[in-house]
Structure 1
Amino acid sequence: MGSQEGSSASQLHVVMFPWFAFGHITPFVQLSNKLASHGVQISFLSAPGNIQRISLSLNSSPLIKIIPVHIPPVDGLPPGLDSTSDMSPALADLLKIAADKMQPQIKSILIDLKPHIVFIDFEQHWIPSIASSLGIKTFNFSVFAAACEAYVTNPYRESPTIDDLKKPPPGFPTTSISSLSTYQARDFLYPFMSFNGGPSVQQRVQTTRKSCDAIVMKSCHEMEGPYIDYIRQHYGKPVLLTGPIVPDAPKYKLEEKWENWLQQFPAKSVLFCSFGSETFLTDEQIKELVLGLEQTGLPFFVVLNFPPGDGDNNEKLKNALPAGFAERVQGKGVVHIGWVQQQAILAHDSVGCYVCHSGLSSVIEAFINDCQLVMLPQKGDQFLNSMLISGDLKAGVQVIRDDEDGHFNKEDLCKAVKVVTVDVNEEPGKSISANHGKWRDFLLNKDIQDGFITNLVEEMKKMVH
């Protein structure tokens, strides 16, 4: 469906206010583009340091404008850090406290803009009461899979132990997600912890959910029906669906250096491996990863990142790579530090398999670019995404890990890759490839995907008018 800027939907004005992390900002940007194409006016709020990157992803439209907001000072939080990509986890927790101090600023902006709806993230549990007093609806937009929201940030969970988190909450649907490993459950203790005397992530989520007018999920019944139904049971309010939000094709061309390197290999032969900008592997994990990729015998392109802080990243990489590795893979393997044009790389004809952390946006990009999925989740929602894709959808493979600490070795990594590449014509590779193709067709069906946004806009109009 083309632009509907002249339709009655143009009466809708929405404020978008995601948490200051690009894993959250990106889905808000993608949803903004979809809504604007249906005639919805968008005012997008973020801190100045994020605006250039956001503007590169937002479509050029008279219906979209970016409004800078300023993060108040907090002891221990250096000024000028406007997203979590620039900070340690401890600083990110201080950023939550700074965001809580934005209440007067946000109220002033809402009074000035007079939107119909404000879409908020998990963090801003204080916005619904402000918006309500101004006659503005508040929608809590979850950037996570419904499976993750149903399993972890569930109203039944208050102060769970590791053993509690290893088991699903009461009434959880019978699906392939039946339990968590010890290391996964340990990681999920984080949302229940309070830092610096402020509310925990879970407390923020539940306060937001209970006080907002609607919950919006980046999902659909076709992919996550049982989890969406389970969430609906708990909150007694509308749960609206955006669909998976398939990103538009990138507006940029792949950098010539990478285009030249990739095009020397046959179609679908290259392994691309990336874990996002805020997921960091240990030196031991890096060694096992690159040795496992080398063991496949296929060409590979690995993107790694290191936590912000002291030290030269090139030196860190040199120390992490096995002795003699760089010489052995010269011409056939690339290990790169920092940002790359991920969408354009996945879209390249030579790339056929994506080894990733199972971030939801990355998984969708793999599907639409026909790249087989090998999943090595590292934290949080990535664990549930990986179970959803490999279990419920049977469209990817997880790398086998130790229960206690999540250790994987090069053999496990190599074996997982071979299932979806070398052994793709044998079971289980054949069925995984077939299911991958089925979900790719579903995601690339423009009528289906556009229908999700059309329905969402209709529901928004009903709630406003």
Structure 2
Amino acid sequence: MSGVENGSAAAAGHIVMFPWLAFGHISPFAQLTRMLVSVDGGFFRVTFLTAAGNVPRVAAMLAEAASSVTVVPLDLPHVSCLPAGASSTAELSADGAELLKIAVDATRPQVAALLAELRPDAVVFDFAMPWVCDVATPLGVKALFFNVYSAATFAFIFVPARCPGGLLPSVHDIAAAPVGFPSDSALATIPAYQAADLSYAFQRFYGMPNVYDRFLACFKGSAGVVMKTCTEMEGPYINYLSAQIGKPLLLAGPVVPEPPQGELEERWSSWLSSFPNNAVVFASFGSETFLSVAAATELLLGLEATNRPFLVVLNFPKGADTESEFRARIPPGLEERVKGRGVLHTGWVQQQQILRHPSVGCYVNHSGFSSVVEGLIAGCRLVLLPMKTDQYINAAVFARELHIGVEVARRSEDGWFGRDDVRDAVAAAMAPGGEGEGMKWREFFLDDAVQKGFAAEFLRELKGLLRATGPNNYN
């Protein structure tokens, strides 16, 4: 075994973390890791598994917990047509991400050998590798499935009731919630374009199990399911999941992102500071959500129509001709018309620091859970523009049930939105009362006692689950 850091020998418990190779999954696993090693006097130490190419970035994410965490590289076996050296979905097309699952499945002998050597108390694994249960259980290692999506997403798509009799649902079936789903949910039905997008979960690629089958195998084979949510936010969905799954649900709380480190770069600080407080609209869609030419064009024209200053970040898949793709999304004459008040950028930015700048008042985002929380705790009004899969579910829960943010209006049959829809959503979010219940939820996320309470309760339930067959130090 080769590691980046040595775990603390004083820790009483040992957990192995094994996330799917997408940073939207690795990040919550890293957040959970930091929680585990920081509570109860460092009771747990963690071994974190990832592809060799991700080790430097993962080690940086876990740097503050390095004394209690060992990052172990896995060598991904060669898979035909998978680019050499690929180690995360950020580097791949949609088809490449399916091939990456084949490579991860092929790490089974490595993972089995590591678990046999380490004999941890538990292994926390992701949806793509349900076979971890088959490897861990004979060794007496508890296998815990970590669902990184919202409880609402899990409940709407991945429960047994979604496929009665084992029959795969049609797009029409997917548009309606499964049997027994909370009746007063904003997700009782979803638009046709969202149902069509979610049908991906039931499609097979390269003869492998589909995503739905992998989810089902995960909670059938696991000793329990971990979720980064709480009953205050998703109580009805959690109750429904408990009835559907019949396994212990361990709630880690919403896992609020840590405050950003370092100062905002001068180029952004100087530009933002030239505007009044709460004047600027910031639009960003994460590292793995990419807007089409049509969507980006309407977004930009809509932001122009707000007559507000704005900063937009547009990113593209690795390997794309970034300059060409970027230019294709800028409407003719836009840059000249918004000169001085509109900035278009591609590439990484200090998102949390930008959101916390006093001049930023509105955040247009894709409804990723972490992005919404980052915007809320920064004090921004939110405009939700989901582009795929679980983002649609999140937006419905945030805007229509928790009253956090304003959704951009869209055409139900194909999801089309226009510049006027973007303009109107920003106007609604920035109007008096446009924050909805955002302030209440901001205080909830920033309440240190509440967050520590979630961590303590999660640790208590985790120890209780491990105590069932674990060593005496869980007594």
Into which bin does the TM-score normalised by the smaller protein fall?
over 0.9
Matches within 5 A, 1:2-17: 10-17=11-18
Matches within 5 A, 1:177-256: 177-256=187-266
Residue pair 2:405, 2:436 contacting (<8 A) in 1 also: no
2:72 aligns to what SS in structure 1?
Answer: strand
Distance (whole Å) between structure 1 residues aligned to residue 225 and residue 115 of structure 2? 20
1:60 deviation in Å? 2.0
Asked whether 1:41 is paired with 2:45, we answer yes
Distance (whole Å) between structure 2 residues aligned to residue 34 and residue 169 of structure 1? 34
- Counterparts in 2 of 1:448 and 1:59: CA distance versus 1, 3 Å: farther
Residue pair 1:122, 1:205 contacting (<8 A) in 2 also: yes
Equivalent AA in structure 2 for residue 316 of structure 1: E
Asked whether 1:449 is paired with 2:451, we answer yes
1:59 deviation in Å? 4.1
2:372 aligns to what SS in structure 1?
Answer: helix
Equivalent AA in structure 2 for residue 461 of structure 1: K
1:307 deviation in Å? 2.8
CA deviations 1:267-310 (Å, max 9, x no partner) are 11111101111111111111110010011111111010123335
Matches within 5 A, 1:79-228: 79-158=84-163, 159-173=168-182, 174-228=184-238
Residue pair 2:161, 2:244 contacting (<8 A) in 1 also: no
CA deviations 1:141-167 (Å, max 9, x no partner) are 111010010001121223111110110
2:115 aligns to what SS in structure 1?
Answer: helix
Residue pair 1:303, 1:335 contacting (<8 A) in 2 also: yes
Matches within 5 A, 1:264-343: 264-311=274-321, 313-343=322-352
Aligned to 2:357: 348
Aligned mate of 1:69, from 74, 82, 95: 74
The runs of 5 or more residues in structure 1 that have no matched partner are none
CA deviations 1:153-202 (Å, max 9, x no partner) are 12122311111011000010022222111110000010111100010011
Equivalent AA in structure 1 for residue 230 of structure 2: C
1:206 aligns to what SS in structure 2?
Answer: helix
Distance (whole Å) between structure 2 residues aligned to residue 271 and residue 259 of structure 1? 14
1:251 deviation in Å? 2.1
CA deviations 1:231-255 (Å, max 9, x no partner) are 0001111001010000111223222
CA deviations 1:34-85 (Å, max 9, x no partner) are 1111112111111122122222222423112211111111111122010000
Equivalent AA in structure 1 for residue 356 of structure 2: A
Distance (whole Å) between structure 2 residues aligned to residue 406 and residue 91 of structure 1? 26
Aligned to 1:19: 20
Distance (whole Å) between structure 1 residues aligned to residue 130 and residue 255 of structure 2? 25
1:434 deviation in Å? 4.5
1:197 aligns to what SS in structure 2?
Answer: coil
Asked whether 1:54 is paired with 2:58, we answer yes
Aligned to 1:32: 33
Residue pair 1:33, 1:59 contacting (<8 A) in 2 also: no
Residue pair 1:177, 1:391 contacting (<8 A) in 2 also: no
Aligned to 2:3: none
1:349 deviation in Å? 1.6
Distance (whole Å) between structure 2 residues aligned to residue 355 and residue 210 of structure 1? 38
Distance (whole Å) between structure 2 residues aligned to residue 273 and residue 186 of structure 1? 26
Residue pair 1:191, 1:201 contacting (<8 A) in 2 also: yes
Distance (whole Å) between structure 1 residues aligned to residue 435 and residue 299 of structure 2? 23
Equivalent AA in structure 2 for residue 156 of structure 1: A
Greater alpha carbon shift after TM alignment, 133-142 vs 56-65: 56-65
Equivalent AA in structure 1 for residue 417 of structure 2: F
1:354 deviation in Å? 0.7
Greater alpha carbon shift after TM alignment, 93-102 vs 339-348: 339-348
Q: State the aligned residue count.
A: 452
CA deviations 1:292-350 (Å, max 9, x no partner) are 00111111110101233353x12222222111101111111111112211111112221
Residue pair 2:91, 2:319 contacting (<8 A) in 1 also: no
Residue pair 1:140, 1:209 contacting (<8 A) in 2 also: yes
Equivalent AA in structure 2 for residue 271 of structure 1: V
1:206 deviation in Å? 0.2
Residue pair 1:353, 1:372 contacting (<8 A) in 2 also: yes
Greater alpha carbon shift after TM alignment, 70-79 vs 164-173: 70-79
Residue pair 2:277, 2:360 contacting (<8 A) in 1 also: yes
1:344 aligns to what SS in structure 2?
Answer: helix
Greater alpha carbon shift after TM alignment, 335-344 vs 53-62: 53-62
Residue pair 1:115, 1:136 contacting (<8 A) in 2 also: yes
The runs of 5 or more residues in structure 2 that have no matched partner are 1-6, 468-475
1:433 aligns to what SS in structure 2?
Answer: coil
* TM-score, reference length from structure 1: 0.95
RMSD: 1.5
Distance (whole Å) between structure 2 residues aligned to residue 349 and residue 113 of structure 1? 49
Identity value in percent: 44
1:16 aligns to what SS in structure 2?
Answer: strand
Aligned to 1:372: 381
Equivalent AA in structure 1 for residue 214 of structure 2: R
Residue pair 1:360, 1:385 contacting (<8 A) in 2 also: yes
